[in-house]
Amino acid sequence: MAHSPHHSRLMRDRRGYSALIATIIMVLVVMFLFYNIYLFKLNRDNDLQNAVSRSQQLDADRAAESLKIQSATKTGGSGFPIVVTCILKDDGSVPIQVVRLWLKDSTTSSITAVNASLLSQNVVLQPGASKIQTFTVTVPGALSSDSFTLTLVTSRGNSAVAFIY
């Protein structure tokens, strides 16, 4: 088989092949690195967008939450636990879970407040619903004639306050 003189000259002169192969490999490596960095940045941007969306939804839910204490009465005291009975109403558009109760004795000069978790009682109100709820709280040194400030805290951090006389 006869080869053209041009072909035989290319076969003898192989100086340019290594530079060409090295350039192709370098371009492939750069493209691979760029692709990985691009995917990493895309995933981080996606994670950020998801976190922002969740935060905005939590803020919207917190703003839509509206707990009202329509009435509150107390019994007990003078060495006995205070029993607080109140009517709770969800005026918002999202369900409410009451998770904490603060009861402060407003009559005494010393600051006497009781903090109680309500997670075990599972106080949940659906939008527009009312509920009569009873809480039993022990306030040291409280008398049956004392006045109290009742604060209920929701799972989203909102609170409702009522004064009990």
Alpha-carbon torsion, ordered 65, 124, 119, 70, to 10 deg: 70
Region 70-88: mean pLDDT is 88
Region 71-79: mean pLDDT is 84
Domain ranges of the chain: 5-63, 65-164
- Residues 96-112 have pLDDT tens digits of 999 999 988 888 766 67
Region 43-57: mean pLDDT is 97
Asked whether the beta carbons of 138 and 108 are under 8 A apart, the reply is no
Residue 108, Cβ neighbours under 10 Å: how many?
14
Please tell me which residue, 2 or 34, carries the higher pLDDT value. 34
Q: How far is 138 from 105, CA to CA, in rounded Å?
A: 11
User: Is the model's pLDDT at 78 over the cut of 90?
Assistant: no
Q: Predicted confidence band at 46 (pLDDT cuts at 50, 70, 90)?
A: very high
Q: How far is 73 from 59, CA to CA, in rounded Å?
A: 32
* pTM of the full structure: 0.70
What is the per-residue pLDDT for 133? Answer: 92
Q: How far is 34 from 46, CA to CA, in rounded Å?
A: 18
Overall CATH class of domain 65-164: mainly beta
